A and B are shown apart, each in its own frame.
Chain A
Amino acid sequence: MNCEWVQQNVTLYLYNELPDDARFELEQHANRCQQCAAVISEFRGLHEQLDALPKLEVTPNLLAAARMELQERLETAEQLQGWRRFVLDPVAWLRQWRFSPALAAVIFIVGFGSGLGTMYSVAGGVRGAAGVTPTSPQPRAEASISGIRTIQQEAGTNRIKIQYDKTTPEQVQGSLSDPEIQQLLLYATRNNYNSGVRMDSIDVLRQKPEDGRIREGLVFALRYDSNPGVRLKALEAVTPYVHGDIRVRNAVVEALLNDNNPGIRMGALHALEASRADTSVRQALQQLAKDDPNPYIRTESRKMLASMPEID
């Protein structure tokens, strides 16, 4: 080990990124070499200086705003499945320069191929113009038609093209342990615009909160449902799991801190009583005891804090 090596690696030494043997040798060398000891000391001073720069911290408001916006955008976002993952974002591909030549080649080949394909299909279309091919294999008598979109007749032929929409209401029956019933109920908690249907769905789902998937659906409703009645029902359903399931506890703490409905915050407060020794619950209670706009919640939080043993 020489002075040049030490000076090249002083940064790694200070960041604790050197292997133990190299670290030991560097320290031994610095004990013997004043010049290297001075360099280490200089870099240590630089690190201290750099720590003097104040860093912006993520405020709870910023985090909450970011989460809410993401939540809204996820409503309309779709996961790309199968081949779509590879073709639907060519702009992002282009940004990665290393893929650009390959992408250019693919575009060229696809363009050339589709040009040829178009020529063949035009020729084929002319040949097949006299034939009649029904485009809808479904017997229309069995389906109810909700509306006709367009009607077009091809000039000079007896071929008519009709675009229409179908609605086929369906019904399914089964027990709550039936996966299909569960799926529909969970779908209803998230996607139905009618809060009455969501309420009915939660009412049924709360009979089986021991099922992990159902509990997740209930937690989702507690976190995001726009209707306070639905949120309250979901809270009641997951309350027995606050102590044993960390995800449920986190959701209830969030409701306690952020729900705009005081009734739900009070419900969350009582639900957390059994877990009040948990650090996150304690911190939430301290915040509420200080800042909650509702005097009842402030008082109850103080009472719960007062009944807890002090932590040193």
Chain B
Amino acid sequence: MRYMEEFRDPKPAKAVLAKIAAVVDEIGATAEKPLHIMEICGGHTHAIFRYGLDKLTHPGIEFIHGPGCPVCVLPRARVDECIAIAERPEVIFTTFGDAMRVPGTQKSLIQAKAEGADIRMVYSPLDALELARRNPEREVVFFGLGFETTTPSTALSIQAAAREGLANFSVFCNHITVPPPIRALLSDPDMVLDGFVGPGHVSMVIGIHPYDFIAEDFGKPIVVAGFEPLDLLQSVLMVVEQIRDGRAEVENQYARVVPEHGNPVSIAAIADVYEMRPSFEWRGLGEIDESGLRIRAAYRGYDAEAKFGIGYGAAARVVEEPEGCACGQVMTGRLKPTGCPHFGKGCTPGMPLGALMVSSEGACAAYYQYGGARAAAE
């Protein structure tokens, strides 16, 4: 068990692994007939691979890697729209580094930058605000990207810009929400999910009740988890215990960070600045109703879509994925990354073809990054 050495303190992990194995045996799940447990968050996907948790847990558990990597689900048409804004001469386009290599239909942001667009990687939307203050003659656009964890930061930045009357700052909003794709996946008759490990930091913002429908409407357990390896194992144990007991509840393993009702300041800022779009496109999953946010009319001056006449859907949709790309099937758990014909050939972290190879939170990149160590261990 090579991966065990990776734990700073392997004893508690061993104890939890033994408990998980006992419960899975009680349920009677096996490698041939496994329990399918989806970790929703890309940070969890990364941690599972880093620590080899999928290899350490009982073979009767199969992890399905969920859609919780905001970079991975960004559709190609949206990347095109973003580049169209970034290439305007008056624009300074600011973005998190993660988004730089996401392929659009023609190019990525990094290619657009090489071709001369003024694109700058920033750590925070606050950096973009500061750039706007320092460059009053330019239009500073921030690429608002991410789930509920990062949504408050752009909402608060827009509020700050409005208070200051900073007219040359705007946000290109691509914020998405976690619950709707989970509902979409659960509504898919081909999908066989037995339980969920819920995202910790998203829940820190929204609390645990937005997941009530998973238990109440679909009868599946979900446990909100921290991302330290022991947190993940404990959460998996809580999920399989619920399955064994025939319970379907929303439980909170990460209560030391996640308040039941979330963070009120964040929730208020999101509600003040954003509203639901009727639908939003997810790479690999298609259009999902009420799954993405847009900036409210009251903050129209800070909405890059309105400012530059881009809107949502100016680029032709739905853009086909590259020939043979299996991102959609991997994202819905129908195929392992290694089953994609491009994996490790036409598609590598250095030259990603599909979005799941772009960020360390994408399932394909995680497989690729830890594949070598894994092969050595097997």
- A complexed with B: no
A interface vs B, CB < 8 Å?
none
